[in-house]
Structure 1
Amino acid sequence: MTPDDAIAEQVRSAPLVVPRPPAGFAPRVAAGLDVAYVGETGALVAAAACVDIATAELVDSAVVPGHTDFPYVPGLFAYRELPSLLRALAALATAPDLLVCDGHGVAHPRRFGLACHVGLETGIPTIGVGKKPLGHYDPPATARGSWTPLVDGGEVVGRALRTQDGVKPIFVSVGHRVDIDTATDLVLRLSPEHRQPETTRAADRLCRRALKASLS
């Protein structure tokens, strides 16, 4: 698939995103997804880390090696990462009720970021949590739980959310089968002590350890 093919696929797929949760949605286990690259070689490791939402404790994890030949193109990261992330999910012994991606969902130029790709591929409710904004926002109040709209092209695409008092906000958006209020609440529940959700932190640690082991 070329970058032009990928862009066309995103445009076709964006209307398939469902911005509401399934009936009776009450997730207990959330899986964080992350990828780390081995320099510029195309080699990578993908991690899935399952966290109990009530306790923020790690309950299952999987790490898989991978490789990508897809070029580095802003807005098309899913085409580099998705195949390996799906293999990491498949390697879990626990079936998560929710996925939390280290990347955006509908907060994307074509409203179809990594979290949307993952959600549509798996059918699991998915949230995008980005460290950097796509679009514009006014800084939220300094208290934990404060948020302001994230706006791109005149459209609200997510929220700038303060997960801890006085820390920089993170950027939450719908991936698939979740609404923004539910996504905001779940991200706060998964972030009891740190800026990033425990799902993201756990997946990042797994990637770093796997990279270190591969280089030693």
Structure 2
Amino acid sequence: MIKLYATHSKMIPDPSQLSGLSEEDALKMQHTLAQKIVQSDQFTSIKTIAGTDVAYEKDGQEIVSAVVVMDASTLDVLEVATARDKISFPYIPGLFSFREIPPLLKAFKSLQHVPDLIVCDGQGIAHPRRFGLASHLGVLLDRPTIGCGKTRLCGEHDDCDDERGDFAHLIDNDQIIGAALRTQKNVKPVYVSVGHRISLPTAIDWILKLTPRYRLPETTRKADQAVNAIMNNREIMFS
């Protein structure tokens, strides 16, 4: 049973409850929580969007996380929360979220804004067990989430055309698990998938809204800039 604590009228899982799990326990939890994923739009309006990112310290012992909350209309940054945590789960392909979720939850705990939508630099259901980081975070927080990865984890897709907005469905075992989406003309696609409480067409629309100039969504770019600043002991500056 995962204990919860209240923050800003929302319930966030206690990060310590996800630390120190065995591989077997993590797989069981992954299977159980994957059954809770909702692949339809379950929200009224999106006014704020959060981006997440993590990075590992060179010593391999600690992980730094950042959550950047932005205005959904203007893409202005409203708030930044960061956290640093000891790595408490081994490097096991397919279970990376168990390493990265605890420090992200610590960052979410300190937010004053509760984001209406979360975009993760990683996968949602485009995962061998249909439960990547975006789905894991979305189910735990019960918030709409989108996975937007730089690379493909599983599945195959046809070539998508070269214009911005062109996409090809990502298919695994005859199931549509996401899309390879061209966010800018003649650049490599990103891989978009449902995290939780959102449909794939809506997820694609939002990623396009979040990529007015660059290949990666502004949520990911800003969260990455925040993490890099913390890692290098610099003031957080956005570009």
TM normalised by structure 2 equals: 0.86
Instruction: Name the amino acid aligned to 1:108.
Output: H
Gapped regions of structure 1 (runs ≥ 5) = none
Q: Please say if 1:52 is aligned against 2:71.
A: yes
Q: How does 1:1-216 map to 2 (within 5 A)?
A: 1-23=21-43, 25-133=44-152, 134-213=154-233
In the aligned structure 2, how far is the partner of 1:79 from the partner of 1:62? 20
SS of 1:16's equivalent in the other structure is coil
SS of 1:203's equivalent in the other structure is helix
In the aligned structure 2, how far is the partner of 1:166 from the partner of 1:55? 26
**Aligned-residue CA RMSD (Å):** 1.2
Residues 157-190 of structure 1 deviation map (CA, whole Å, 9 limit, x = unaligned):
0000001111100000001000001100011101
In the aligned structure 2, how far is the partner of 1:192 from the partner of 1:42? 36
- How far is 1:40 from its partner? 4.4
Q: Provide the identity percentage.
A: 42
- How far is 1:151 from its partner? 1.2
TM normalised by structure 1 equals: 0.95
Gapped regions of structure 2 (runs ≥ 5) = 1-20, 235-239
In the aligned structure 1, how far is the partner of 2:24 from the partner of 2:172? 22
In the aligned structure 1, how far is the partner of 2:134 from the partner of 2:59? 24
Instruction: Name the amino acid aligned to 1:87.
Output: K
Alignment: residue pair count: 213
Q: Which has the higher contact order (CA 8 A, sep 6+)?
A: 1
Structure 1 stretches of at least 4 aligned residues deviating more than 6 Å after TM superposition: none
